[in-house]
Structures are given as structure tokens and as C-alpha cells.
């Protein structure tokens, strides 16, 4: 049985919009919530300004963690886009997966008419795909 990750529909839609708006560059951001449900998306700047990798702007990440403490929400995920490739973690994505308890969402815009979103647990090898459960 595949492990799951729960996310609000509005958050998933916001991730897709962010990916499309930043294309052809990769977008990135963090996800938070409570009780295992992702309820907030936090778009961040990709300081790498790249079509093939992302690097969350350090100050924005610092602010995100400060806000989490103030609101008592949990860091539940990270997202980014792959403008030209499949929604699967690249070698760099795996090497830079510093949050083993988070779900990693990847949006593929390879076929721009039908973006694809997949989620993964990247704690170690092998990468584990998560079933995305969308809630209202």
C-alpha cells in the first residue's frame, strides 16, 4: 500500500499556478499545515534562476521558519517544478533533500497542456512515491 500525503485543493492549485508563472525557470516553495494536512503554500524565490535546479532564497526560508514558530504550524512539504522533464526527483533533488520528514512535490510542465504533480518521500534510497490525497 502506498503512503499518502494530504493537501488542500486550493494549495495544489496555487502550486500549479506558481509553476506555470515561473516557467521556463523552476519555481520553488514550502508547505505547512497541521495534523498532517497541508493547508498553506509559501511561494519562494528560486535564487538559482535556473531551468534545471532550484535553491530557495535563504532569507525567505528563514522567514518561513520564523512564521511557523509564531503560528505553531508544521513544515510538511517542499515543492518545485520541472519545466522540461518528468515529475520525478533528479539526482540534484535527491542530494539536496535536507528535510526527510517532508513530502517533496514536483510539478512537470513537460507537456504544458497537462501539468503533472507527483509527491515523494526522499529520506534515503530508494525514493518513495506518495499518493496525493486532495481535500477540500
Per CATH, is 4-135 categorized as 1.20.140.10?
no
Domain boundaries, the chain: 4-135
* The CA-based dihedral angle spanning residues 20, 116, 42, 83, taken in that order and rounded to the nearest 10 degrees: -50
Say how far apart CA 74 and CA 65 lie, in whole Å.
Answer: 9
pLDDT in tens, the chain (136 residues): 889 999 999 999 999 999 999 999 999 999 999 999 999 999 999 999 999 999 999 999 999 999 999 999 999 999 999 999 999 999 999 999 999 999 999 999 999 899 999 999 998 778 999 999 999 9
Say how far apart CA 108 and CA 86 lie, in whole Å.
Answer: 5
Question: What cell numbers appear for 96 in the block?
Answer: 539536496
Contacts (Cβ under 8 Å, ≥6 apart) of 103: 5, 31, 38, 76, 77, 78, 119, 120, 121, 130
- pLDDT at res. 134: 98
Amino acid at each position: 500500500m502506498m503512503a499518502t500525503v494530504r493537501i488542500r485543493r486550493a494549495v495544489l492549485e496555487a502550486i500549479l499556478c506558481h509553476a506555470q508563472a515561473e516557467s521556463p525557470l523552476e519555481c520553488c516553495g514550502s508547505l505547512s499545515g497541521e495534523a498532517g494536512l497541508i493547508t498553506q503554500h509559501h511561494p519562494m524565490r528560486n535564487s538559482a534562476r535556473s531551468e534545471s535546479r532550484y535553491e530557495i532564497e535563504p532569507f525567505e526560508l528563514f522567514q518561513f521558519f520564523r512564521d511557523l514558530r509564531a503560528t505553531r504550524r508544521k513544515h510538511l512539504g517542499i515543492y518545485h517544478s520541472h519545466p522540461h522533464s518528468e515529475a520525478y526527483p533528479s539526482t540534484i533533488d535527491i542530494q539536496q533533500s535536507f528535510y526527510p520528514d517532508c513530502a517533496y512535490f514536483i510539478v512537470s510542465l513537460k507537456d504544458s497542456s497537462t501539468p503533472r504533480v507527483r509527491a515523494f518521500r526522499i529520506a534515503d534510497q530508494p525514493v518513495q512515491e506518495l499518493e496525493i490525497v486532495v481535500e477540500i
